[in-house]
Copies of this chain bind each other. A is one copy, B any other.
Amino acid sequence: MTDSNTTSRRGFLTGAAGLLAATGVAQATPAEAKSKTGAPPAPPASAAKGTAEPFWGPHQSGILTPAQTHTYFAAFDITAERREDVIAMLTRWTEATARMTAGRTARDLPADLADTTADSADVLELPPSRLTLTFGFGATLFVKDGKDRFGLAAHRPEALVDMPVFPGDQLVEAMTGGDISVQACADDPQVAFHAVRQLARIAYDTAAIRWVQSGFLGGFDAKETPRNLMGFKDGTGNPPVNDPEEMRKFVWVGTEGPDWMRGGSYLVVRRSRMALEHWDRMKVSFQEQTFGRRKYSGAPLTGHKETDALDLDATDGDGNPVLPENSHVRLATAASNDGAKILRRSYSYNDGANVVAERWPPWRQGLEYDAGLIFVCYQKDPRTGFIPMFEKLSRFDMMNQFVTNVGSGLFACPEGVTKGGFIGQRLFEKA
């Protein structure tokens, strides 16, 4: 297994070989490579976009990592039948992930152009772009159709429940579930897609893609809360990622979980299509009542600035709550959920437009944007996090009339990886 933060795809022809040689990796020399490809010298990496996020460590990256501008989410189903094959794939995935997050190709580019397997090479000159890859295990990896497929059933965490189907869910099988989740996030859409595509190639004969989804955040100053496509700031109520105590309390699995999950977290993903045409016809004041926040400033209806706490007790002159009983933020806030918090890390998605003919009020039909939110959240335990929270939201949230959940998933993201190990190693060693 190799790792180098000092080599990059940008220097792959002219600068990398020497450094790679120093770390003992076989690769064509610059002269060899040049004679085959006639490449011009690569320019130096851009400092602004050139940074790499760490891969090795006690926690997986991509959870507390400040949100990148793009994501590509993939759910895989295992097609192999032997546990060794899954372990071999996870080992190769770990190696490729360590390389790609450091800004390298998934595998060494071949000196022999008759090779097919190295890398699709569509991000050759591109910097690491803060790529992170975050892996999770679905319930079906442990037991599927009643079968203990890989001898893992005894190690399925209690918290990895079967994801409920909530009231109003219109789930599409082709956007739901999966044995393994891989979320790529990067400041470049091609870097994110490239990473998953290489993992899919490496998985050939062991796992196949079940569903994928790309997403983005509007252009982007990490100091500001991004706006979703409804025009509202999204993520204001998150627990602070720089507070280790809050993260221990709400995000990371502790001693209550199986040891392979300690330092891990549970990922919920939902593909939430927004009825943007419908939403855009609503009064701004109605949108604010729905959300519970001011549209332009992000302030709660009971406050003046975005960071003001919600005042659930505030009433207007008639004695009615200023934050409506069925407003989104009121229903979702910790004080309405026995103190529970989830760490949201959602992206917008935009898959064009297609014909919709809904069978429920207001019976919208015609061509509509297939756009909305890839809702993603992390939590210590979905049974106290997203699930009870959304049981309530799915029944009462005013926003439901503008959102249709068409995809859903719950995945157990194990602890981080130590150099020399592989993703989920402690689970597979147990089994």
Cβ of A187 under 8 Å from chain B = yes
Check if B193 sits within 8 Å of A219, measured CB to CB.
no
Check if A306 sits within 8 Å of B48, measured CB to CB.
no
In the complex, the count of this chain's copies comes to 2
The bracket for how many chain A residues form the interface is: 35 or more
Check if A39 sits within 8 Å of B297, measured CB to CB.
yes
Check if B114 sits within 8 Å of A228, measured CB to CB.
no
Q: Is the interface of A mostly helix, strand, loop or mixed?
A: loop
Considering the complex, give the chain B residue whose CB is closest to the CB of A121: B231
CB-contact partner of A227 in B43, B123, B209, under 8 A: B123
Check if A348 sits within 8 Å of B190, measured CB to CB.
yes
Cβ of A351 under 8 Å from chain B = yes
Q: What's the nearest-Cβ distance from chain B to residue A277, in Å?
A: 8
Q: What's the nearest-Cβ distance from chain B to residue A284, in Å?
A: 4
Closest 4 CB pairs of A and B: A190-B218, A188-B219, A39-B297, A38-B304
Of the A-B pairs whose beta carbons lie under 8 Å apart in the complex, a sample of 20, sorted by A's number, is A37-B294, A38-B297, A38-B305, A39-B294, A39-B299, A46-B221, A49-B219, A113-B285, A116-B284, A121-B227, A121-B296, A122-B230, A124-B296, A174-B355, A187-B219, A188-B219, A190-B227, A191-B218, A197-B369, A211-B352
Q: A48-B48, A123-B227 given. 18 additional CB < 8 A pairs? A: A36-B294, A37-B295, A38-B294, A120-B231, A121-B227, A121-B295, A122-B227, A122-B228, A124-B231, A125-B227, A188-B219, A189-B219, A190-B216, A190-B219, A197-B369, A201-B280, A210-B367, A214-B352
